[in-house]
Structure 1
């Protein structure tokens, strides 16, 4: 008898597994290595108050949207050369679930 197909993790689980080490979703929590991602959708890149960004990211001239976040999670250095974030997510379905979860948090 074959095992049932595994249900893919949801965005909240994926965020906790892959993002929460460096990012919070609460302004009341202490800053971590990365900026808080509270209301990241539509926010100007490199502009979260109270976070010290890399020089490259602080000069970004765009706001976060689905496409930018997808490209960023795929390869941050391709979006903005010289940024510090090293994490990459190759799986499109995982990126989409994380982005959908971040949108829910806005």
Structure 2
């Protein structure tokens, strides 16, 4: 019986850590929701929203030539994984005054996957 409990705990830990890392391939599909306003990749240009290349680790409100809201420019945020997860879950609640009108991603799996995808987008 102890062996079964240990195996269950090991399995749960493995599943939990695999989920926490997200799946960039699945995140590319989630990004389809974002692509109405944002772009990524070589040659990406600002649109309704800023380019998201290199977003992970970038100070908020700093992508060149994009007109950010005052709230975003003055936020003092750096887009680490935790900040992105919280923002993408409820943008307007997390940062009142943001220009992003997207209602948010409810699924923790979608959040993990989109962050994994964004982490793959290098700064230009």
TM-score (norm 1): 0.84
| Larger proportion of helix | 2
Q: Secondary structure of the equivalent of 2:29?
A: helix
CA contact (8 A) 2:45 2:51 kept: no
What does residue 5 of structure 1 align with?
none
**Is residue 42 of structure 2 the alignment partner of residue 35 of structure 1?**
no
What does residue 68 of structure 1 align with?
83
In the TM superposition, what is the alpha-carbon distance from 1:98 to its structure 2 partner? 0.4
Q: Secondary structure of the equivalent of 1:69?
A: helix
CA RMSD between the two structures: 1.7
In the TM superposition, what is the alpha-carbon distance from 1:30 to its structure 2 partner? 3.4
What does residue 94 of structure 1 align with?
110
Per-residue deviation, residues 59-105 of structure 1 (Å, max 9, x unmatched):
11021011000001111122211112121111111111000000122
Structure 2: runs of 5 or more not aligned = 1-22
Separation (CA, whole Å) in 2 of partners of 1:43 and 1:82 = 20
TM-score (norm 2): 0.73
Structure 1: runs of 5 or more not aligned = 1-7
Separation (CA, whole Å) in 2 of partners of 1:28 and 1:72 = 26
